[in-house]
C-alpha cells in the first residue's frame, strides 16, 4: 500500500513538472526582428531618448509663453527703522537732527506678476534647434535599429547554419556507427583486420567529439540570438525558417539603384549635426539683438501696529499695479560671443570634414562588400560541388570495401575528405550569409530588406 502511494505521488510530481515546462516559441527571421524591436533594451533606450527630445521642444516653447507668478509676504518689524530729519522741521535748532520712526510693526503684501516675451532672437533659433535635436534623436533610433537588425540576422543565420551542420554530423555519426559494426562483422568473419576496426572507431570518436561541439555551438548561438532579441536565457525558442527559405542576394542585383549617401544613417546623422551647429552659430549671433519683454503686476499691501487688524480683510488693504516694457541689449561683452562663434565655426568645419571622410568610407565599404559577397558566393558554389563529390567518393569507397576490392584506408581517407568538404561548405555558407548582411548595410538597405 505504501509503495502504491509513493508511486502515485511520483506520478503526480512528474505530471506537474511536465506541465510546468515552457513550450518553445517559434520565430521566423522577420518575427525575431519584430520581437527585438519591442523588447531589446538598447532600442527601448533610444525610444525613450526621443520622448526626452520632445519634452525638450515643449520646454523651449514654454519659455515664449506668459510666465505668471504669485507672491505673498508678511513681516513684523521688531524694531521699526529710525530715520533722521533736520530738527528745524519740528521747530528745533538748525544744524541738529531728530530721529523719527516711520512705518508700522506689521506689514503685508500680495501680488500677481506677469512676464511675456515680445521679442528674443535666441528663442526662435532655439525653438528650431530643439526640433532639429528631436530629428537627431530619431536618427539615433534608426542607427540603433540598423545595428539591431544586422545583429539579429547574423545571429539567426548562425543558429541555422550550426543546426544544419549538427544535423549533418548526426548523419555522419549514424553512417560511421554502421560502418564500425560492418567492419567488426568482417573482422569476426576474417575479412578484415583489427587495425581496420580501430581506424573506423577513431573516425567515429572524432564524430562524437564534433557532435558534442556542435550541440554546444547551437546552444551558444541560440543564446546570442535570444540576447539580441531581448529574451531571457531560460526562454525556449525554435526557428521557423530554414536555410532553404532564407534568400541570398543575387549577384546581378543592383544595389546602387536609388542609392543616396543619406541612406546611410551615419552620414545622415552628420548632416543633422551640421544643421544643429549652424543653428548654434545663429543662436549666438542673435544674442547681439535686443530682447523685449512686457511685464505687469497687480497686488495689495497693508500695514498696522495691531496684528488683529492686520489679519482682517478690510478696505484698509490698498491696491497697487504696474505695467511696463523692458528692453535689454548687449553693448560690450569682452568679445565673448565673437569667440564662441569662432569656436562653433571651427566645429562646423570639423563636422564637414567628417562628412567627407564618412562618404569616402562608405564608398570603400561598398566596393569591399561587393567583392567579398561575390567571392563568398563563388566559394559557396565551389564548396557545394566539393561536398557532393566527397559524398560520391565516400559511397564508392564503401561499396568497393564491402565487395573486397577496396581497402579500409581508402574508406577512411574518403570519409575524412567528405567531412572536411562538409565543414568547408557550411563555413562558406555562413560567410555568404554574413556578407549579404554587410552588403545590405553598406548600401543603407538593411531596414528595407526586412520589410
Per the DSSP assignment, residues forming a β-bridge with 304 are 106
In a domain, 309, yes or no: no
Domain count, the chain: 1
In a domain, 175, yes or no: yes
Dihedral angle sign, alpha carbons of residues 34, 40, 44, 45: negative
Distance CA 167, CA 243 (A): 13
Question: What are phi and psi for residue 116, nearest 5 degrees?
Answer: -130, 125
In a domain, 187, yes or no: yes
In a domain, 7, yes or no: no
Give the predicted TM-score (pTM) of the model. 0.82
Distance CA 139, CA 143 (A): 6
The per-residue pLDDT for 408 is: 86
Neighbour-count burial for 411-425, b at 16+ CB within 10 Å, e otherwise: bbebbebbbebbbbb
The per-residue pLDDT for 303 is: 76
In a domain, 107, yes or no: no
Q: Are 130 and 280 in contact (CB under 8 A)?
A: no
The per-residue pLDDT for 311 is: 62
Neighbour-count burial for 300-309, b at 16+ CB within 10 Å, e otherwise: bebbbeeeee
Question: What are phi and psi for residue 389, nearest 5 degrees?
Answer: -65, -40
In a domain, 74, yes or no: no
Q: Which domain holds residue 31?
A: 24-64+120-290+336-442
pLDDT tens, the chain, 451 aa long: 444 443 443 444 444 444 456 789 999 999 999 999 999 999 999 999 999 999 989 999 999 999 999 999 888 888 888 877 787 777 778 878 777 777 777 888 899 999 999 999 999 999 999 999 999 999 999 999 999 999 999 999 999 999 999 999 999 999 899 989 988 998 898 888 899 899 999 999 999 999 999 999 999 999 999 999 999 999 999 999 998 888 776 655 677 778 899 999 999 999 999 999 999 999 999 999 999 999 999 998 887 777 666 666 666 778 899 999 999 998 988 999 999 999 999 999 999 999 999 999 999 999 999 999 999 999 999 999 999 999 999 999 999 988 888 888 999 999 999 999 999 999 999 999 999 999 999 999 998 865 5
What's the CATH number where 30 sits? 1.20.1600.10
Distance CA 368, CA 299 (A): 75
Q: Helix 408-442 to helix 121-188 angle, to the nearest 10 degrees? A: 170
The per-residue pLDDT for 400 is: 92
In a domain, 232, yes or no: yes
* Three-class HEC string of 127-182: HHHHHHHHHHHHHHHHHHHHHHHHHHHHHHHHHHHHHHHHHHHHHHHHHHHHHHHH
The per-residue pLDDT for 14 is: 43
In a domain, 73, yes or no: no
* Total residue count of the chain as it appears in this document: 451
Amino acid at each position: 500500500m505504501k509503495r502504491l502511494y509513493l508511486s502515485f505521488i511520483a506520478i503526480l510530481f512528474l505530471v506537474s513538472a511536465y506541465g510546468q515546462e515552457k513550450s518553445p516559441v517559434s520565430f521566423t527571421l522577420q518575427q525575431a526582428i519584430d520581437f527585438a524591436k519591442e523588447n531589446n533594451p538598447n532600442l527601448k533606450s533610444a525610444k525613450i531618448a526621443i520622448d526626452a527630445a520632445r519634452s525638450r521642444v515643449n520646454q523651449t516653447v514654454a519659455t515664449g509663453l506668459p510666465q505668471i507668478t504669485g507672491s505673498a509676504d508678511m513681516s513684523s518689524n521688531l524694531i521699526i527703522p529710525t530715520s533722521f530729519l533736520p530738527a528745524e522741521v519740528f521747530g528745533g535748532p538748525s544744524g541738529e537732527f531728530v530721529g523719527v520712526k516711520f512705518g508700522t510693526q506689521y506689514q503685508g503684501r500680495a501680488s500677481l506678476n506677469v512676464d511675456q516675451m515680445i521679442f528674443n532672437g535666441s528663442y526662435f533659433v532655439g525653438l528650431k534647434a530643439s526640433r532639429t535635436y528631436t530629428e537627431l534623436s530619431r536618427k539615433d533610433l534608426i542607427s540603433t535599429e540598423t545595428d539591431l537588425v544586422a545583429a539579429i540576422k547574423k545571429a539567426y543565420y548562425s543558429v541555422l547554419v550550426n543546426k544544419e551542420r549538427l544535423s549533418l554530423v548526426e548523419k555522419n555519426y549514424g553512417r560511421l556507427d554502421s560502418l564500425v559494426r560492418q567492419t567488426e562483422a568482417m573482422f569476426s568473419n576474417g575479412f578484415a583486420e583489427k587495425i581496420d576496426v580501430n581506424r573506423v572507431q577513431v573516425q567515429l570518436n572524432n564524430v562524437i567529439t564534433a557532435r558534442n561541439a556542435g550541440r554546444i555551438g547551437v546552444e551558444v548561438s541560440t543564446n546570442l540570438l535570444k540576447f539580441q532579441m531581448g529574451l531571457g536565457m531560460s526562454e525556449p525558442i525554435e526557428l521557423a525558417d530554414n536555410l532553404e527559405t532564407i534568400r541570398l542576394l543575387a549577384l546581378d542585383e543592383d544595389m546602387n539603384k536609388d542609392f543616396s549617401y543619406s541612406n546611410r544613417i551615419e552620414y545622415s546623422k552628420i548632416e543633422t549635426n551640421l544643421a544643429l551647429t549652424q543653428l548654434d552659430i545663429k543662436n549666438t549671433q542673435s544674442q547681439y539683438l535686443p530682447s523685449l519683454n512686457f511685464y505687469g503686476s497687480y497686488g495689495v499691501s497693508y500695514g498696522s501696529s495691531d496684528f488683529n487688524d492686520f489679519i482682517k480683510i478690510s478696505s484698509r488693504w490698498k491696491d497697487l499695479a504696474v505695467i511696463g516694457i523692458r528692453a535689454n541689449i548687449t553693448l560690450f561683452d569682452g568679445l565673448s560671443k565673437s569667440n564662441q562663434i569662432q569656436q562653433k565655426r571651427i566645429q562646423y568645419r570639423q563636422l564637414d570634414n567628417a562628412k567627407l571622410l564618412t562618404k569616402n568610407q562608405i564608398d570603400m565599404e561598398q566596393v569591399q562588400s561587393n567583392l567579398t559577397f561575390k567571392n563568398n558566393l563563388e566559394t559557396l558554389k565551389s564548396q557545394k560541388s566539393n561536398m557532393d563529390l566527397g559524398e560520391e567518393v565516400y559511397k564508392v569507397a564503401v561499396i568497393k570495401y564491402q565487395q573486397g576490392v577496396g581497402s579500409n584506408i581508402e574508406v577512411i581517407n574518403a570519409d575524412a575528405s567528405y567531412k572536411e568538404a562538409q565543414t568547408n561548405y557550411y563555413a562558406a555558407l555562413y560567410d555568404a550569409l554574413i556578407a549579404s548582411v554587410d552588403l545590405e548595410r553598406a548600401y543603407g538597405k538593411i531596414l528595407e530588406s526586412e520589410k
